[in-house]
A and B are shown apart, each in its own frame.
Chain A
Amino acid sequence: MIKKYFRYVPPALITLILLVGQFTYGILDSWVNLAAAIVTAVVAELILAKLVFGVWKNPSSAYISGISAGILIRSYFIWPYIVTALISILSKYVLRYKGRHLWNPTNFGVSWMLFLNSADVAGLSMQWGSNLAAMSVIWVLGLLTVTRAKRLHVTLSYVVSFVILAYVRSLITGDAFLAELSPLTGPMYQLFIFFMITDPVTAVSTRKGRIIVAILVALVEFVLRLDSFIYAPFFALFLVGPVAKFIDLKFNVKEGSAFQVAKGNAA
C-alpha cells in the first residue's frame, strides 16, 4: 500500500518544505511565478508523454520539476520560470539513450538558465533566510524523503565528500573552513542534495555506482568552486550525471522500456 503511494511522498515533502520556507520567511517572491513553473512542467509532461509515448503520465515528477524550478530560479519576469520548466521537461524526451533520459530534468533546465548569465535570471544561492530552526525542519523532511526513496547513501556520500573537500579548499584558499562549509547550510543545497542528486531515474543502477557518482559530483564541484562558480553544484551534476548514466546504460542496462520514463521522482 505504502509502496503504491510512495511516488506521492517526495512531491508532498517538497511542498511541505516550500510551505515551511514560505510561511517562515516568504522565500518566494511571487506565487504566480511558482504556479507558472508548476503548470508548465505538468502540462508539458502530460502532452509530451501522450505525444511521444502514447500514455497519460502521472504528473508527480513533473510537479517536483516545476516546484524546484520555481524555487531555484529567481527573476522578476515570469518567462524564465516557464522556459526553465519547459526546457527541463523537454530534456527528458529529447536527450535520451536506450530509452532513458540522461540529465536530471530540473538540473538541465536550471543549469542552462544560470549558465547563460542573463541580466534577468539568477539562482537561489543567497536569497533565503539563514535560520537554524527552519533549516533543521528542512533537513529532517529531506532526510525522511531520501530514506524512503532508498537514496540516503547518495545524500550522505555527497555531504561527506563536500565536507572533506570544503576542508581541503579552505587549506588551498586560506578561507575559513566554515566559509567553505557555509553553502551546504543554505537553501540551494537543501534542494540539491535531497531532490536533485538523488533522482532515482537519472541515477546509475548500482548502489556502489551511485556512491561513486556522488563523490565525483562533489569532486567536480570542488574544481568549479576553486574557479569561483557560484552555481557549482548544478554545473557539476550537469557534467557528471549524464556521463555516468550513459556509461551505466551502455554497460549495465539492457534497452529499457520507453514507458519507464513515466516513473521516478525527478526533481
Chain B
Amino acid sequence: MAVILFIGLLVLTYFLSRSKNPSSGGIAADSRQKDSALKKYGFYLEPVNEAAGITFRHDCPEVDSKLDHIKMQIASMGASVSICDFDNDGWNDIYFTDSKTGTKNALYRNLHNGKFEDVAAAMGIADVNIKGTGVSMGAIWGDFDNDGYKDLLIYKWGKPELYKNIKGQKFERVTEGSGLPPWVNANTAIWFDFNNDGLLDLFIGGYYNEAYHLDSLTTTKIMPESFRYANNGGRNYLLKNLGNGKFEDVTVQYGMTSTKWTLAAAAADFNGDGYPDLYVADDYNVDEFYINQKGEKFEEKGSAAGIARIPKSGMSASFGDINNDGNIGIYTTTITEKGILIQDNNYWQPNSDNMKENPSFVNLARIAGIENAGWAYGAQFGDLNNDGFMDLYVANGYISARKNTSYWYEYSKVTGGNSSIIGDAKNWPDMQGESQSGYEEDKIWLNNSNGLFEDVSGKVCPPADYDGRGVAMADLWNRGVLDVIVANQNNIPLVYKNDIGNTNHWVDFELAGTVSNADGVGAKVEIGWSGKKQAQVVTGGMGFASQNQHRLHFGLGQDHKVDSVTIHWPSGRVEKIENPQIDQLHLLKEKK
C-alpha cells in the first residue's frame, strides 16, 4: 500500500506541475484575432504609435563603469508615462520620460484628430537629462499653485525638477528655491494634500541611497543588504507645500524615516477620517502603510493592517474597486518566477468592519485570480469594456536580452548570501548579456463580475513582450473609452487604442476643487446604478512610474441610468448628484 501511495504521489505531482505551468506567449494566432476578441470580451487594444505620430523610444540610464557587469540590472528603470491635459483643451496629452544622459523627454500634445505632436522642447520640458543633474525616472502632474493649470514634477536619479505651467503655453523651471532636495535616487513620487489645506504636497520615494550618483561612484557597496530585509535604500521625502512656491521637508517630523527601497506610492483615505493615508511599496522588504493622523503626523501600521507580514518585492501600488462594493482596494505587484521565486501579487481588500478604528486588509489576489503575473511592474485598474467592472493591466518583464538565457542562477547565488556579499556590486556575477524574466507578455485580466478575473493576455491585443514599466489608462480620443499606454524600458512605448466592440454605457467626471486643492486630488467619487456601487479616487500619480488621466471613468454596462453620484471632497464637503446624464463627461466644480 505504501508503494502504491508513494508512486501515486510522484505521478500526481508530476502531472499537476505540468498542467499548472503557464504558457509564455504560445497563444494561438487565431485567438488574437480582433473580431474574436471583440465578440468574446467586448474590446481590443490596437497599438497605434505610428498612426498617432508617437515616435518616442526610451533609453536606459548610463551607470558608472564599476557597474558595467550588471548594468542591465541597475539601469532597468526609468520608462514612465503620465497623462495630463496640460493646456486645458479637454483632451488628454502624454508625457514620457527618457533616462539616458542627454536624451529628451517627450510631451505629446493631443491634436484632437487621432494624432499627437511632441511639444516638449517648445514647452521647455524636454532637455532635462543633463549631465550632472541626473536622469528622469518618472513625472507627475499636479496644480501645486492652484492656478488652474497642472504643473510638472520630474523625479530622477538626480535632482528633482519642478516646472510651473504658464497657462498651458510654456513651462517655467521653478526648482531653485523651492525646497526640493538636492539629490534623490527616486523611482516614485505622488502629489497629495496630506493636511487638507488645499495645497498639493509631495511624497518622493528613494530607491538607491541618495549619497550615490550612479553614473559616478566611488564605491560598489550600493546594493541591498538583503533580498528580503533591506533597510539601506534611499530615504523618502515628505514635502509640505507652503503655498508660496516653496516646500518644507517634514519627513522626520511626520515620522517617515524609513530607508527601505521604495518603488511606488499611492494615497487615499482608508479609515474615513478625511485625511489621505499613504501606501508605500518597497523592494527587498515589506511594504508600508502610513495612517494619517489628521494631517499632523503619519503612523506606520503595515504589520497591524496585515499588509507587511511577508516581505516581497513591492513594485507598484494602485487602487481599484474590483467588487463594486464601494471599497477601494490596493493592488501591489511583485516578482514570481516559476520554480525559483514565488511572491505573488496582492490585492488588499479593506476589512470594511473596522477600517475606522483599526484599518486592516485581506489579500484577495489569489481568489480573484490576479496573483501571478511574472516580474511585474506597473499596474492599473480600469473598465476596459465598459461593462461596469474594473479590469486590470499589469506590465511585465525585467530584462529581455539574449533569448533563451537566464541570469536567475547567478542572481540567486548572491541574493541568498550574507549581507556583505549581496551588498557589494563587485560580487555580483557578470550578466554577459543574459536575460532575466525577459520576454514576458503583459497581463490583462478581465473582471467578469464581482471581482473574479479572466486572463485575456495575448487575446485582446497583438503579441508584445517588451519590458513594461509604467502603465496609464486614459481616454485619448474622448470617446468614453479607456485607452492604455505602456512605457517600456529601453524600447518604444505601446499606445493602445481601445476598440470597444459593444454598446455599453459610461459616465466620466472631471473634478476641480475650490476649497480643496484645485485638482481635487484625494476626492472620492461613488456612483450607484442598478443596485451596483463603485468608488474611485482622484490621485496625483499611482502604479509604478505612472499617472492616469485626471478624470474618473465609470463603465455602466447596458444600464441607461446612474441613480446617484456622491463626491467626498478633501475639504470634507460632500456633494450629491441625482441621475446625471450618461455617456458624457461631467465637469464638477466643488461648491464653496
Q: Please list the residues of chain A having a beta carbon within 8 angstroms of any beta carbon in chain B.
A: 25-26, 29, 48, 51-52, 74-76, 83, 86-87, 90-91, 93-94, 112-114, 116-123, 125-132, 135, 173-176, 178-188, 228-230
- CB pair A119 B2 closer than 8 Å: no
Residue B341 at the chain A interface, CB threshold 8 Å: yes
Residue B21 at the chain A interface, CB threshold 8 Å: yes
- CB pair A127 B429 closer than 8 Å: no
Of B10, B22, B339, B424, which is within 8 A of A122 by CB? B339
- CB pair B228 A186 closer than 8 Å: no
The smallest beta-carbon distance between B246 and chain A, in angstroms, is 41
- B336-353 interface code vs A (CB 8 A; 1 in, 0 out): 001111101000000000
Q: If the complex has contacts A75-B342, A90-B6, are A182 and B417 also in contact, measured as CB distance less than 8 A? A: yes
52-94 of chain B: CB within 8 A of chain A: none
The segment out of B11-19, B209-217, B258-266, B438-446 that lies at the interface is B11-19
Q: If the complex has contacts A94-B2, A182-B413, A182-B417, are A118 and B339 also in contact, measured as CB distance less than 8 A? A: yes
- CB pair B225 A130 closer than 8 Å: yes
- CB pair B427 A126 closer than 8 Å: no
Question: Total number of A-B contacts with CB less than 8 angstroms?
Answer: 161
Listed by A's residue number, 5 A-B pairs whose Cβ atoms lie within 8 Å are A90-B5, A130-B416, A175-B410, A175-B430, A185-B417
Residue B115 at the chain A interface, CB threshold 8 Å: no
The smallest beta-carbon distance between A220 and chain B, in angstroms, is 16
What residues on A are CB-neighbors of B2 within 8 Å? Answer: 48, 51-52, 90, 93-94
Top-10 shortest CB links A-B: A182-B417, A186-B416, A228-B409, A118-B17, A116-B17, A117-B339, A185-B418, A126-B415, A175-B429, A130-B419
Known: A118-B339, A125-B341, A176-B428. 16 other contacts (CB 8 A): A26-B311, A116-B17, A118-B17, A119-B17, A123-B340, A125-B340, A125-B412, A125-B416, A127-B228, A127-B341, A131-B226, A175-B429, A178-B427, A179-B427, A228-B409, A229-B409
Q: If the complex has contacts A130-B422, A176-B426, A229-B409, are A87 and B6 also in contact, measured as CB distance less than 8 A? A: yes
Closest to B4 in A: A94
- CB pair A128 B17 closer than 8 Å: no
What residues on A are CB-neighbors of B427 within 8 Å? Answer: 176, 178-179, 182
What residues on B are CB-neighbors of A112 within 8 Å? Answer: 10, 13
The smallest beta-carbon distance between B578 and chain A, in angstroms, is 45
- CB pair A179 B13 closer than 8 Å: no
- CB pair B340 A76 closer than 8 Å: no
- B216-235 interface code vs A (CB 8 A; 1 in, 0 out): 00000000011111000000
Of B228, B229, B340, B342, which is within 8 A of A120 by CB? B342
- B78-112 interface code vs A (CB 8 A; 1 in, 0 out): 00000000000000000000000000000000000
Q: Please list the residues of chain B having a beta carbon within 8 angstroms of any beta carbon in chain A.
A: 1-3, 5-6, 9-10, 13-14, 16-17, 20-22, 225-229, 309-311, 338-342, 344, 366, 371-372, 406, 408-422, 424, 426-430
- CB pair A132 B418 closer than 8 Å: yes
- CB pair B9 A86 closer than 8 Å: yes
What residues on B are CB-neighbors of A183 within 8 Å? Answer: 413, 416-417
- CB pair A188 B416 closer than 8 Å: yes
* Distance between Cα atoms of A26 and B228 in the complex (Å): 10
* Distance between Cα atoms of A129 and B507 in the complex (Å): 49
* Distance between Cα atoms of A135 and B344 in the complex (Å): 27
The smallest beta-carbon distance between A199 and chain B, in angstroms, is 19
What residues on B are CB-neighbors of A130 within 8 Å? Answer: 225-227, 229, 416-419, 421-422
- CB pair A179 B16 closer than 8 Å: no
Of B20, B371, B417, B424, which is within 8 A of A118 by CB? B20
What residues on A are CB-neighbors of B412 within 8 Å? Answer: 125-126, 230
- CB pair B341 A119 closer than 8 Å: no
* Distance between Cα atoms of A118 and B342 in the complex (Å): 10
What residues on B are CB-neighbors of A121 within 8 Å? Answer: 17, 339, 342
Counting chain A CB atoms within 10 Å of each CB, which of B16, B338, B339, B406 scores highest?
B339
Of A122, A187, A188, which is within 8 A of B340 by CB? A122
Q: If the complex has contacts A74-B342, A76-B366, A83-B13, are A179 and B5 also in contact, measured as CB distance less than 8 A? A: no
What residues on B are CB-neighbors of A29 within 8 Å? Answer: 310
The smallest beta-carbon distance between A25 and chain B, in angstroms, is 6
Of B16, B228, B426, B428, which is within 8 A of A129 by CB? B228
The smallest beta-carbon distance between B278 and chain A, in angstroms, is 23
- CB pair A131 B310 closer than 8 Å: no
- CB pair B344 A76 closer than 8 Å: yes
What residues on B are CB-neighbors of A128 within 8 Å? Answer: 227-228, 416
What residues on B are CB-neighbors of A230 within 8 Å? Answer: 340, 408-409, 412
* Distance between Cα atoms of A186 and B9 in the complex (Å): 30
